[in-house]
């Protein structure tokens, strides 16, 4: 009987297991999950779960009985610690060695650590896992905390929104001129700056954290490069994620900001594949390797890798897609914009829902819909088509997106 081992019990790994069975694979499927949890989705951890409006169970990828019902051997709380790609064997932390015919690396990423003095004090938090979310949810639940968020990226802003909504005082410290500057640029970054300031967040841009101070082992203040001491009894660090590539690297697989794969999610050794946050996969659309740390990439990449493992002809080539919810604002972003792109808006960013388009040489590189729904398909088609579209047509609310 053939054995497929899936390493990593996140969304990519669990969806790969589902697809293997849906496609009729009747061999052995082992899902090796380092965390002691059933596979779960992370987006609710910084939204509904932190707000107290959703429960843990709602984040599960599958119901508890699904794994047994589908003959998927789920090994929770067990990490894969060694990989021999020549012998096609994987070693688990329990000491067990397992032979595989094909192996998926879906090991995801972990929160980047803050490299300053005091970052090990009690009260400094990260948010990546359900265990992190449990702790932070309890911290914020009663309100009245003095929270400093380090980093105005997606995680930092969602935590800030949840913390404010639960009655905590929040300061966000961000080195760039606006939050989300690297992804959205100045003008759209300002939309999120305004949103958070309107909700009472003290947003310090152009500011870096230099040190965290404490007393009795607990956080008391965050010191910035402007020599300002910000009082804090809780610090949440959201400064990006680092892919879990150690297993791949130690096995001699090609690693370059992620496990390098071709367009079919095949890694550099026969029988080994990668998907989700850990994969740097070759995109035919962009003509280069991309590592995408978004939910949709795990949702679709896991199944694509499963089909590729079954020998199907797979080209994994999706337009990157991301969503966020902060306060009452909901947003979706499709594509990849560049620093020199021009922004064209359909609707007023200061007044209700709108769509922003990023263009380069007349081509739409990315689009963001804010409080406008059911437009992802035409926006992604526009990005994918690479056709030139006049700015006036992009801005015209009466021009159907499908006809651009």
Q: Which residues bind ligand FAD (CB under 6 A)?
A: 7-13, 32-35, 42-43, 45-46, 79-80, 106-109, 127-128, 155, 244, 247, 276-277, 293-296, 298, 322-324
CB of 292 to ligand FAD, least distance (A): 8
CB of 146 to ligand FAD, least distance (A): 22
Choose between 36 and 229: whose C-beta lies nearer to ligand FAD. Answer: 36
Sorted by sequence, the CB contacts under 8 Å of residue 263 that are 6+ apart come out as 281, 282, 283, 284, 314, 315, 316, 317
CB of 385 to ligand FAD, least distance (A): 23
Choose between 6 and 209: whose C-beta lies nearer to ligand FAD. Answer: 6
Choose between 174 and 277: whose C-beta lies nearer to ligand FAD. Answer: 277
Burial 255-265 (b: 16+ CB within 10 A, else e): beebbbbbbbb
Choose between 42 and 62: whose C-beta lies nearer to ligand FAD. Answer: 42
CB of 372 to ligand FAD, least distance (A): 17
CB of 149 to ligand FAD, least distance (A): 13
Choose between 228 and 242: whose C-beta lies nearer to ligand FAD. Answer: 242
Structure tokens at 159: 């935590």
Choose between 72 and 155: whose C-beta lies nearer to ligand FAD. Answer: 155
* CA pseudo-torsion sign 243, 245, 246, 247: positive
Q: Counting Cβ atoms within 10 Å, is residue 399 exposed (0-12), middle (13-18) or buried (19+)?
A: middle
The residue whose two tokens read 């020199």 is 340
* CA pseudo-torsion sign 191, 195, 198, 204: negative
CB of 103 to ligand FAD, least distance (A): 11
CA distances for 404 relative to 233, 337, 374, angstroms: 51, 19, 16
């Amino acid at each position: 009987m053939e054995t497929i081992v899936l390493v990593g019990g996140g969304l990519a790994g669990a969806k790969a297991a589902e697809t293997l069975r849906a496609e009729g694979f009747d061999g052995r499927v082992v899902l090796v999950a380092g965390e002691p949890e059933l596979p779960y989705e992370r987006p609710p951890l910084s939204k509904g779960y932190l707000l107290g409006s959703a429960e843990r169970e709602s984040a599960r990828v599958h119901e508890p009985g699904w794994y047994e019902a589908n003959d998927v051997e789920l090994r929770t709380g067990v990490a894969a610690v060694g990989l021999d790609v020549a012998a096609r064997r994987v070693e688990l932390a329990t000491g067990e060695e397992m032979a595989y015919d094909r192996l998926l690396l879906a090991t995801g990423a972990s929160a980047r650590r803050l490299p300053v003095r005091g970052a090990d004090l009690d009260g400094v938090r990260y948010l990546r896992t359900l265990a992190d979310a449990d702790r932070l949810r309890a911290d914020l639940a009663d309100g009245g905390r003095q929270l400093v968020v380090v980093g105005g990226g997606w995680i930092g802003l969602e935590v800030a929104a949840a913390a404010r909504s639960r009655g905590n005082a929040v300061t966000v410290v961000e080195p760039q001129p606006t939050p989300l500057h690297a992804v959205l640029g100045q003008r759209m970054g300002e939309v999120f700056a305004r949103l958070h300031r309107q909700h009472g967040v003290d947003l310090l841009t152009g500011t870096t954290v230099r040190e965290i101070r404490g007393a009795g082992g607990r956080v008391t203040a965050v010191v910035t490069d402007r020599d300002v001491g910000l009082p804090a009894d809780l610090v949440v660090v959201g400064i990006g994620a680092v892919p879990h590539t150690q297993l791949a690297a130690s096995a001699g697989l090609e690693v370059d900001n992620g496990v390098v794969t071709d367009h079919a999610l095949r890694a550099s050794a026969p029988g080994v594949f990668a998907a989700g946050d850990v994969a740097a996969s070759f995109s035919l659309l962009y003509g280069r390797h991309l590592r995408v740390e978004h939910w949709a990439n795990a949702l679709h990449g896991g199944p694509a890798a499963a089909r590729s493992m079954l020998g199907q002809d797979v080209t994994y080539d999706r337009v990157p897609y991301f969503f966020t919810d902060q306060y009452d604002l909901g947003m979706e972003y499709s594509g990849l914009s560049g620093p020199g792109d021009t922004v064209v808006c359909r609707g007023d960013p200061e007044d209700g829902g709108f769509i922003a388009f990023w263009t380069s040489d007349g081509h739409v590189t990315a689009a963001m819909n804010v409080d406008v729904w059911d437009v992802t398909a035409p926006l992604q088609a526009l990005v994918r088509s690479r056709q030139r579209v006049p700015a006036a047509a992009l801005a015209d609310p009466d021009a159907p997106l499908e006809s651009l």
